């Protein structure tokens, strides 16, 4: 960890190669009048809107919509099967069936999906406007960096843990899903950021416009918290619905059994106590890993992912990276990367990276997951390394 100490509060970083734009954003955070104690920048950090993706910000008495982001509740779920091997033919059939059953990209289900949560949606205009569309979006993958991946756990134990956690490191087949709140999160984020920006202009606030805030003791701030919470719930249920569908498919083809899934968010804000003070912790592209808490850190397409155990490091506000983190923009990746080279990087893995339009999610568009994991040894302990067998990108 290194520290930048020439702003109002320190910036603690778990990487040495933070891009100029992301560092400027981190410095802006450190000079917010309501920022608390220090800013934490995770090893996968890169420039985002207002706040670096891979950043953790604690605030007093305010919430900042842009420091949660537009995909509220984006996160990971992972499940372990009792399979220790799976054939290539079965993998191909399973992937084909997943593609048939789970809409990806901008596609939705053709019919409303059942969920009792729709009947208790908060009576908030922006949620009511999206509710009908959301009924068909539940259990759909989305696009960009969202994925469904079938993986094989490393056959060697990565660390000495108690008996229950050792069972995670024994060469079993896993399924991992990365997805978020679909259009719910996007519309909520943009709606409340616009309102926050308008209010800050009216108050003659000197905070950067991209960091416009809502006071927590204000009706609008509480409304955003309620809307965000509903988007988090929707995102978690959507991942669970997809995982259940994948479980049915894998169990049907292989006869396997599955264990209880792990599910985590990495775009959200929550009231927590740190350094003896109740603060609103914004994690944008970061996961919470309290001491002993399990987390999920995916690599890029074609590289290892990890199930980890948190070390509860207070300097990170009990946080860690949420993945490998982008090494270049989507536009740059499509411009400079070579499709054949990237396909070679994924040799032996079933995938759908079959055109230059998919290069924005190529392995080389991301940072090295090995470097990211090395840089956060004081934040998490890896429990199992997961190697990809087949991956379906949105």
Place of tokens 């995938």: 351
Query: Nearest to residue 200, comparing CAs of 214, 216, 188, 189?
Result: 214
CB 173 within 8 A of CB 151: yes
Reported as type and span, the H/E element at residue 355 is none
Indicate which residue of 108, 266, 322, 351 is catalytic: 322
Is 322 annotated as catalytic? yes
Query: Nearest to residue 153, comparing CAs of 170, 141, 167?
Result: 170
CB 224 within 8 A of CB 214: yes
CA-to-CA distance for 338 and 355, rounded, in angstroms? 10
Cα 217-189-29 angle, rounded to 5 deg:
70
* CA quadruple 120, 122, 128, 131: dihedral sign: negative
Q: State the DSSP code for 66.
A: G
* Ordered alpha helix ranges (H), 255-338: 330-336
- CA 17 distance to own-chain centroid: 21
Mind telling me the catalytic residues? 322
């Amino acid at each position: 960890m290194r520290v930048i100490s020439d702003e109002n509060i320190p910036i603690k970083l778990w990487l040495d190669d933070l891009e100029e734009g992301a560092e400027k954003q981190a410095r802006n955070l450190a000079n917010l009048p309501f920022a608390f104690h220090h800013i934490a920048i995770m090893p996968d950090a890169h420039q985002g809107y207002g706040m670096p993706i891979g950043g953790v910000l604690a605030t007093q008495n305010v919430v900042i919509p842009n420091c949660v982001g537009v995909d509220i509740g984006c996160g990971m779920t992972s499940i372990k099967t009792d399979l220790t091997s799976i054939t290539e033919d079965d993998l191909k059939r399973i992937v084909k069936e997943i593609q048939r059953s789970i809409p990806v990209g901008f596609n939705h289900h053709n019919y409303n999906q059942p969920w009792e949560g729709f009947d208790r949606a908060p009576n908030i205009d922006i949620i009511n406007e999206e509710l009908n569309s959301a009924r068909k979006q539940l259990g759909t993958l989305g696009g960009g960096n969202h994925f469904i991946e079938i993986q094989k756990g490393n056959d060697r134990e990565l660390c000495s843990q108690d008996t229950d956690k050792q069972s995670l490191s024994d060469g079993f087949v896993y399924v991992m899903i990365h997805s978020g709140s679909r259009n719910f999160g996007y519309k909520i984020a943009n709606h409340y950021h616009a309102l926050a920006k308008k209010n800050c202009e009216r108050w003659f606030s000197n905070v950067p416009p991209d960091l416009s805030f809502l006071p927590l003791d204000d009706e609008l701030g509480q409304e955003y918290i309620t809307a965000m919470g509903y988007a988090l719930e929707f995102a978690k249920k959507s991942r669970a619905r997809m995982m259940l569908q994948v479980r049915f498919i894998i169990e049907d083809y292989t006869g396997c059994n599955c264990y209880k899934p792990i599910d985590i968010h990495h775009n959200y804000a929550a009231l927590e106590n740190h350094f003896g003070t109740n603060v609103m912790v914004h994690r944008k592209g970061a996961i919470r890993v309290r001491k002993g808490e399990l987390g999920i850190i995916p690599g890029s397409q074609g590289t290892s992912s990890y199930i980890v155990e948190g070390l509860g490091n207070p300097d990170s506000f009990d946080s860690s990276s949420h993945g490998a983190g982008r090494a270049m923009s989507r536009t740059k990746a499509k411009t400079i990367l070579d499709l054949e080279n990237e396909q070679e990087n994924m040799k032996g893995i079933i995938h759908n990276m079959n055109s230059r339009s998919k290069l924005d999610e190529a392995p080389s568009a991301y940072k090295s997951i090995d470097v990211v994991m090395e840089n956060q040894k004081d934040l998490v302990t890896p429990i199992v390394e997961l190697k990809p067998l087949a991956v379906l990108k949105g």
